[in-house]
Amino acid sequence: MRKLLLLTFILSQFVAAAQPLRTPAEIKNFTQPSSYEETVKYLNQLDQYSDLVAIESIGKSVSGRNLFALKYSKPGNRSNQPKIKVLIQAQQHGNEQSGKEGALLLANELVKPEYSYLFDRIDLMLVPQVNPDGSEKNVRRNSNGADLNRNHVIMTEPEVMALHRLFDKYFFEVTMDVHEYYPYSEEWIKQGYLKNSDVLIGLNTNPQIPATIRDFQKREYMPFWTEYLKTRGISNGTYSPGGPTEDTYIRYSTFDINDGRQSYGIQNTFSFIQEGLNGDDSFVQNLSHRAYSQSRGMLALLEFVYRNGKEMKKIVREERKKLISPPANEDVALQMEHVADGSILRLPVYSYFSKSDSIIEFKNFRPVVKSTLSIKKPFGYLFPASNTELVNWARRQGFETIPLMNPEKFVFEKLAITAVDSIDFEGDIIPCPQVTTTIISDNISLENYVFIPTAQLKGNLLVIAIEPQSELGLATYKQFGYLMKAQTVYPVIRVRKAESKTLTIK
Ligand SMILES: [Zn+2]
């Protein structure tokens, strides 16, 4: 009898394992999102279910919850081509449930035999829930009250640090950051419209990210993504904040590098942001369709990368080679603006006038980001070792530091803030200093400094973060506000090769 019971038990386990899994929200018929506990259990089940996938803990949230990644990788390589590495992450904002639910649906889809071919060419890391603390309370921010998707430059939050440790371990060539957008603003409704695309897509917009990457995204990915979703009954568009009236210009989303998309993009990565439609209860309304739409958007990316990965990998390899080489007289954009190029945005909306889906045309559309202030990329920067705030920031970012040999071959530039003006940054007024540069003629005691060269993957990020006139720089954050005081000497010293000084004089 005991044997029979045991056999029944083993058989029932076998049957359970052979049946396709369902996400926690699917089991609850999407009346509630998947809780953290349920999500952890489900991810472990997936790990047990398929050899293709392995669960990994990548860090902990502020409240001590584990942050999980699922690694999809097939052993062996029939094509003999090195695989392309893709990172998809969701729910940095805890009240954007469809990102997580879409990722959990995708996680299960990908273990099905019909998608197995993807992993002949792709290694995928999927982080379904970056902000479990926020998710449990359905709030945007983490337990420190920080907006994680504005934290990738100052990098003070453990969730964001965990993401970048993961990135720095694998150097993904393609990333997607999954969010939700909120179309229910008074202004839009007053004008009679509601943006109602199931999903929107945003590409790299910072002009420092190579044009080869940005053009490929626009030319190749956009039409593919649009068609892929349309044929699956999912409405879509480009992520275009601004409006609704012609008084407020409309543009592609921010060029700032403090978000999950461009913090990877600035390391010459194909990075995308996907924005699913939020429910107007900001929670579970229509969650089943919202999650499904998000998961198909993620699948579209994987299918595209499967088809184009070889070319994408080559572009990334060549562009990153430039980043890790010593600077070759190139410019780094520090201030920029959105400008028109004569094109008109045709935006799909729901119209309260006709009570149907409609298209509105925006003439005040500014799709191009133009640099308005740039600097010749220096060889590196000297951080005073005594400035623990700056040195700890550099450590959190994981910059490579090297000893600066043969100081006589370099020119050291001291920066002084003479006054602080203000400039327009995407419609907000932010402070901007006036800076004078003088060449230091005395010997510098290099042992009192940490040297960070710009010839590294995060080299452009370093310049953009540390230059005092950068509108995306450290000095624009409250924590580093002391860097931008009038009549003070900037603590960081700019280092250039001596011959570049001769070049300037010529
Ligand atoms: Zn978001």
CA pair distance 493, 412, nearest whole angstrom: 7
Tell which residue, 253, 351, 232, 242, has the closest CA to residue 295: 232
- Separation of 148 CA from ligand 1 center, angstroms? 9
User: CB within 8 A of 75, min separation 6: which ones?
Assistant: none
- Separation of 181 CA from ligand 1 center, angstroms? 7
- Separation of 128 CA from ligand 1 center, angstroms? 13
| 3-class secondary-structure state, position 162 | helix
- Separation of 180 CA from ligand 1 center, angstroms? 5
- Separation of 103 CA from ligand 1 center, angstroms? 14
| 181-204 tens-digit pLDDT | 998 888 888 889 999 999 999 999
- What pLDDT is attached to residue 78? 62
- What pLDDT is attached to residue 186? 84
- Separation of 140 CA from ligand 1 center, angstroms? 8
Residue 349's H or E segment, with its range, is strand 345-351
| 243-261 tens-digit pLDDT | 876 668 899 999 999 999 9
- What pLDDT is attached to residue 504? 46
Placement of tokens 């005081």 in the chain: 485
- What pLDDT is attached to residue 75? 85
Integer distance in angstroms from the first to the last C-alpha of the chain?
96
Which segments of the chain have a pLDDT < 70? Answer: 1-19, 77-80, 245-247, 500-506
- What pLDDT is attached to residue 67? 98
- What pLDDT is attached to residue 173? 98
Tell which residue, 68, 71, 357, has the closest CA to residue 235: 357
The number of beta carbons lying within 10 Å of the beta carbon of residue 405 is 9
- Separation of 2 CA from ligand 1 center, angstroms? 54
- Separation of 487 CA from ligand 1 center, angstroms? 39
The number of beta carbons lying within 10 Å of the beta carbon of residue 401 is 16
- Separation of 126 CA from ligand 1 center, angstroms? 17
- Residue 244, preceding bond cis, omega within 30 degrees? yes
- Separation of 96 CA from ligand 1 center, angstroms? 6
Tally of residues, the chain: 506
CA pair distance 356, 352, nearest whole angstrom: 7
Report yes or no: 125 and 71 within 8 Å, Cβ to Cβ: yes
CA pair distance 327, 406, nearest whole angstrom: 18
- Separation of 32 CA from ligand 1 center, angstroms? 19
- Separation of 91 CA from ligand 1 center, angstroms? 7
